[in-house]
């Protein structure tokens, strides 16, 4: 079970203790908490503690040097009128809602082509998977900066056909597009998950459909899609959460400033600039909590919408 | 390897755990041989064509970077092909010594952080996973739910106070802020991965050990740990790659060039160079990708299995 289906099954099962759980005398609290000790310390000191602290800081003005000063909702009202922040939201939303569906569509497409017993499958799979391991690195971001530069690889190839390409990453209208393309390029990880999911669909469903004279397209729509929908959902949730936090690629490609003219100023990049460039820690904390709320809302929408299109076998 | 993947009833199921790859395609293929028509053959041919073109397109930028790093610098701006006329190692020697320290210094720093993170994740995550998978305790459901939620928690929500905390202890420009969280199992993804794995290990083994008088520490160390080596391998490999590539954490905590890990060193390299030295920049980029590539080459099996099993219902 994936983390997501596990979470939803916890909420579904609420109140219905299994036989094993009813056996109260079979508890070993002492041993359990000893085993959990590192995790519990981490949870309190590294996760929940800092979370609450940043919630507090979001209502203060704090620059690391003077003690935090309570300013109430100031940071949040400032956010309402911060045009650069609004722009960074637009950039991030574009990245997430163009990049993720595109990446998943490519992942699914390649997984479908790969699935049907092709010779050399492990080789192809490796080739498609490798970029997703390297895609998060600074090195690949550097490569991207060159490829989509004015004299980069893309324009060299275009020049062979007599086309004079623009400076993709120096032009505000295409800079974000090249970073989205980098995201699509890393479709390997969701593709692997799709492949594993496709493999779990019983062959007899397709055989039965064939006997009934269903076309390939009908089989795809009536068998593959419903059976795969939990996995599409899983990928969608994970990729959306992950993409909202994208940072490295935009940082390196734009040289750390989100340029040209803020066209690649991701929300996280702006947060970094506020917090660790200007040491406006209060404002950065407010932004971080805002990001958490955004991600939470979209994940919730995703879960609610899933009732209408995700098909659970059990 | 006992995973959900194998325990689900599939019509083409054959024994032979540990070989995750295409069992079903083989079955389909043998069915196909009954009437391996020309239409089917041309369809397969078309698929190969699509895959080769798509795969080539995917890999081309990487190959081009490798080739370009072996070329005189000026060719990088006007040679889109992969043909090498001569082997130029100058970019590598230039790049290696372009920063304050030789590039090996940064690789060593990265290696220290990676090693610490791997050890931390292996120890702390496996302990937590054992508790979640095998022990009954008060608050288990609640804690397990919280653990799953933290997998999805954005790092940014905790980074500001975490930075304040670590800077007050005096840990800025040390490796501790990058390693200590791993010792405390904050990479919950791996806890979950290991819980999944331990659940697949037959409980009878624990029971037998218990009857022999073994306590939990003993069962964990002598029964469970040896059996969960594949999960530990997956954790090691993912931790290696993610930590080696980690930029954000290093950017925030490591500002002293002495302490730079590879990603921040590369970033400093980009910033310090004008557009004229792409060759040496490419060369060091390749050097930085090489360890990840090697791990991919030898650990692919665990990587693919790891993603597939945690992503599957």
Sign of CA dihedral A68, A71, A76, A79: negative
Q: Residues of chain B with pLDDT > 70: what percent?
A: 86
Q: Do B313 and A234 touch (CB under 8 A)?
A: yes
pLDDT at B11 over 80: no
Rounded to 5 degrees, φ, ψ at A61 are -105, 120
Domain count, chain A: 2
Chain B residues with CB-CB distance to A248 below 8 A:
247-248, 263
Q: Is residue A9 part of a domain?
A: no
* Mean pLDDT for chain B overall: 84
Is pLDDT above 60 for B12? no
pLDDT of the residue at B156: 87
Q: What is the mean pLDDT of residues B6-14?
A: 35
Of residues B271 and B230, the one with the higher pLDDT is: B230
Distance of residue A197 Cα from the nearest chain B Cα, in angstroms: 6
A260 cis-preceded (ω within 30 degrees of 0): yes
Does A53 share its domain with A99? no
User: Is A155 in the same domain as A202?
Assistant: yes
- pTM of the full structure: 0.87
| E-state strands within chain A | 60-61, 69-70
Residues in chain B within 8 Å Cβ distance of A75: none
Work out the pLDDT band at A288, boundaries 50, 70, 90: very high
A232 and A269 co-located in one domain = yes
Instruction: Domain of residue A23: give its range.
Output: 18-57
Domain spanning B99-310, CATH architecture: Orthogonal Bundle (1.10)
Same domain (yes/no): A37, A81: no
Please report, for residues A153, A250, B68, B274, B282, the alpha-carbon distance to residue B78 in angstroms, rounded to integers and kept in the order given.
8, 26, 11, 18, 15
Same domain, A40 and A172: no
Closest by CA position to A33, among listed B194, B151, B193, B128: B128
pLDDT at B40: 79
Please tell me the distance in Å from B14's CA to the nearest CA on chain A: 14
Within B21-37, where are the H helices? Answer: 24-32
The verdict on residue A249 lying in a domain is yes
CATH number at A195 reads 1.10.3720.10
A237 within domain boundaries: yes
Report residue B108's pLDDT band, with 50, 70 and 90 as the boundaries: very high
Instruction: Find residue A161's DSSP bridge partners.
Output: none
At A42-88, the pLDDT tens digits run 999 999 999 999 999 999 999 888 899 999 999 999 999 999 999 99
User: Does B17 score more than 70 pLDDT?
Assistant: no
Quick one: tokens of B128?
Answer: 């937590």
**Whether A231 contacts chain B with CB within 8 A:** yes
- Please give the angle made by the CA atoms of B181, A299 and B304, to the nearest 5 degrees: 60
Name which of A38, A199, A241 is nearest B127 (Cβ-Cβ): A38
pLDDT of amino acid B232:
94
Q: Taking residues B277-294, report their average pLDDT.
A: 92
A105 lies in the same domain as A215? yes
> Has residue A4 been placed in a domain?
no
Give the length of chain B: 313
- Whether residue B156 lies within 8 A of chain A, CB to CB, comes out as yes
Same domain, A33 and A148: no
Q: Specify if A68 maps to a domain.
A: no
Domain boundaries, chain B: 30-68, 99-310
Same domain, A199 and A292: yes
Quick one: pLDDT band at residue B35, thresholds 50, 70, 90? Answer: low
Residues of chain A with Cβ-Cβ distance to B95 below 8 Å are none
Is residue A248 located within the same domain as residue A111?
Answer: yes
Q: Which of A119-123, A236-240, B113-117, B272-276 has the lowest mean pLDDT?
A: B272-276
Within-domain flag for A231: yes
Query: Which residue is closest to B290 within chain A, CA to CA?
Result: A134
Same domain, A39 and A104: no
At residue B311 the predicted structure's pLDDT band, cuts being 50, 70 and 90, is low
Domain-embedded: residue A1: no
Q: Look at residue A163 and tell me whether its pLDDT is greater than 60.
A: yes
Please check whether residues A126 and A200 belong to one and the same domain.
Answer: yes
A224/A138 same-domain check: yes
Q: In what helix (H) or strand (E) does residue B115 lie, and over which residues does it extend?
A: helix B103-134
pLDDT of residue B76: 80
Q: Is A119 a domain residue?
A: yes
Name the minimum distance, in Å, from the CA of A196 to any CA of chain B: 6
The angle that helices B229-245 and B188-199 make with each other, rounded to 10 degrees, is 160
């Amino acid at each position: 079970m994936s983390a997501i289906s596990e979470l939803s099954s916890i909420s579904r099962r609420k109140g219905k203790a299994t036989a094993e759980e009813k056996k109260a005398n079979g508890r070993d609290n002492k041993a359990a908490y000893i085993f959990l000790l590192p995790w519990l310390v981490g949870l309190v000191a590294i996760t929940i503690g800092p979370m609450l602290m940043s919630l507090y800081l979001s209502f203060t003005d704090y620059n690391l040097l003077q003690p935090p000063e309570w300013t109430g909702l100031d940071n949040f009202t400032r956010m309402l009128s911060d045009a650069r922040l609004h722009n960074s939201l637009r950039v991030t939303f574009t990245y997430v809602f163009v990049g993720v569906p595109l990446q998943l569509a490519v992942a699914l497409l390649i997984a479908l082509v790969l699935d049907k017993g092709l010779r050399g499958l492990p080789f192809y799979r490796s080739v498609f998977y490798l970029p997703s391991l390297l895609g998060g690195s600074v090195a690949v971001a550097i490569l991207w900066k060159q490829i989509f530069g004015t004299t980069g690889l893309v324009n060299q190839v275009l020049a062979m056909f007599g086309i004079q390409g623009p400076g993709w990453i120096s032009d505000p209208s295409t800079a974000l597009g090249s970073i989205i393309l980098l995201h699509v390029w890393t479709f390997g990880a969701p593709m692997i998950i799709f492949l594993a999911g496709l493999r779990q669909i019983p062959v007899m469903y397709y055989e039965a459909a064939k006997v009934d004279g269903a076309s390939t397209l009908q089989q795809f729509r009536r068998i593959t899609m419903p059976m795969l929908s939990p996995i599409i959902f899983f990928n969608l949730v994970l990729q959306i959460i992950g993409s909202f936090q994208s940072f490295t690629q935009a940082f390196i490609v734009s040289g750390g400033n989100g340029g040209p003219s803020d066209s690649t100023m991701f929300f996280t990049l702006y947060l970094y600039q506020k917090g660790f460039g200007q040491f406006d820690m209060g404002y950065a904390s407010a932004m971080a909590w805002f990001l958490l709320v955004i991600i939470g809302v979209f994940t919730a929408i995703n879960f609610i919408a899933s009732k209408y299109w995700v098909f659970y076998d059990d | 390897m006992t995973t959900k993947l194998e325990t689900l009833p599939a019509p083409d199921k054959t024994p032979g755990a540990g070989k995750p790859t295409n069992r079903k395609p083989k079955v389909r293929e043998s069915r196909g041989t009954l009437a391996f028509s020309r239409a089917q053959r041309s369809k397969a041919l078309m698929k190969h064509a699509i895959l080769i073109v798509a795969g080539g397109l995917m890999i081309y930028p990487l190959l081009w970077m490798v080739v370009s790093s072996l070329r005189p610098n000026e060719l990088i701006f006007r040679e889109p092909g992969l043909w090498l006329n001569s082997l130029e190692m100058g970019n590598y020697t230039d790049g290696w010594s372009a920063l304050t320290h030789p590039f090996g210094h940064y690789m060593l720093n990265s290696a220290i952080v990676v090693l610490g993170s791997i050890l931390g994740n292996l120890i702390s995550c496996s302990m937590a996973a054992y508790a979640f998978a095998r022990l009954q305790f008060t608050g288990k459901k609640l804690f397990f739910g919280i653990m799953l939620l933290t997998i999805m928690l954005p790092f940014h929500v905790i980074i500001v106070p975490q930075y304040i905390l670590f800077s007050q202890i005096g840990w800025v420009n040390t490796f501790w802020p990058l390693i200590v969280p791993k010792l405390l199992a904050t990479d919950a993804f791996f806890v979950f991965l290991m819980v999944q794995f331990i659940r697949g290990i037959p409980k009878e083994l624990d029971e037998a050990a218990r009857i022999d008088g073994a306590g939990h520490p003993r069962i964990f160390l002598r029964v469970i740990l040896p059996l969960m080596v594949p999960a530990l391998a997956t954790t090691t490999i993912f931790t290696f790659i993610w930590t080696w590539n980690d930029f954000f954490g290093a950017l925030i905590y490591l500002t002293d060039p002495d302490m730079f890990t590879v990603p921040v060193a590369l970033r400093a390299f980009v910033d310090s160079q004008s557009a004229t030295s792409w060759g040496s920049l490419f060369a060091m980029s390749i050097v930085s990708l090489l360890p990840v590539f090697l791990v991919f080459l030898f650990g692919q099996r665990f990587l693919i299995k790891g993603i597939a099993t945690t992503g599957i219902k």
